[in-house]
Amino acid sequence: MPSSSPRTHHQVLVIGGGTAGINVAANLRRKRPGLSVAIVEPSQTHYYQPAWTLVGGGAFDLDATARPMAGQIPKGVTWIQDAVTEFQPDDNRVVLKSGQQVDYEQMVVCPGLQLDWHKVQGLQETLGRNGVCSNYSFETTRYTWECIQGFHEGPALFTQPAMPIKCAGAPQKIMYMACDQFRRAGVLDRADVQFFLPGEAMFGVKEFVPPLERVVARYGITVNYKTNLVAVDGEKKIATFQRVGGEGEVETFTRAFGMIHVTPPQSAPDVVKQSPLAAASGWLDLDKFSLQHLRYPNVFGLGDVGSMPNAKTAAAVRMQTPVVVDNLLALRDSRALAGAYDGYGSCPLITERGKVILAEFLYDGKLAPTFPLDPTRERWLGWFLKADFLPWMYWRWPKSWPDFVVVGRNLLARKKGETPMSTRAA
Catalytic site residue from 110, 133, 147, 167: 167
Q: At what angle do helices 170-185 and 138-150 cross, to 10 degrees?
A: 30
For residue 165, give the nearest of 46, 53, 295, 318 by alpha carbon: 53
> 165 and 172 in contact (C-beta within 8 Å)?
no
CA distance 338 to 292: 12
Q: 132-158 burial string, b = 16+ CB within 10 Å, else e?
A: bbbbbbeebbbbbbebbeebeeebbbb
Catalytic site residue from 110, 133, 147, 347: 347
CA distance 108 to 298: 9
Cis peptide before 164 (omega within 30 of 0): yes
> 298 and 107 in contact (C-beta within 8 Å)?
yes
String of DSSP letters for 255-297: EE-SEEE-PPPEE--HHHHTSTTB-TTSSB-B-TTT-BBSS-T
> 345 and 311 in contact (C-beta within 8 Å)?
yes
Kindly give the residue spans of alpha helices, DSSP state H, lying in 355-400. Answer: 380-384, 390-396
Non-local (6+) Cβ contacts of 243 within 8 A are 224, 226, 227, 228, 250, 251, 252, 253
Clarify whether 167 is annotated catalytic. Answer: yes
Q: What is the CA radius of gyration of the chain?
A: 22
Q: How many CB atoms lie within 10 A of CB 221?
A: 20
Question: Exposure of 300 by Cβ count < 10 A (0-12 exposed, 13-18 middle, 19+ buried)?
Answer: buried
For residue 60, give the nearest of 424, 331, 395 by alpha carbon: 395
Clarify whether 347 is annotated catalytic. Answer: yes
List beta partners, residue 356: 350, 379
CA distance 109 to 275: 12
Which residues are designated catalytic?
A: 167, 347
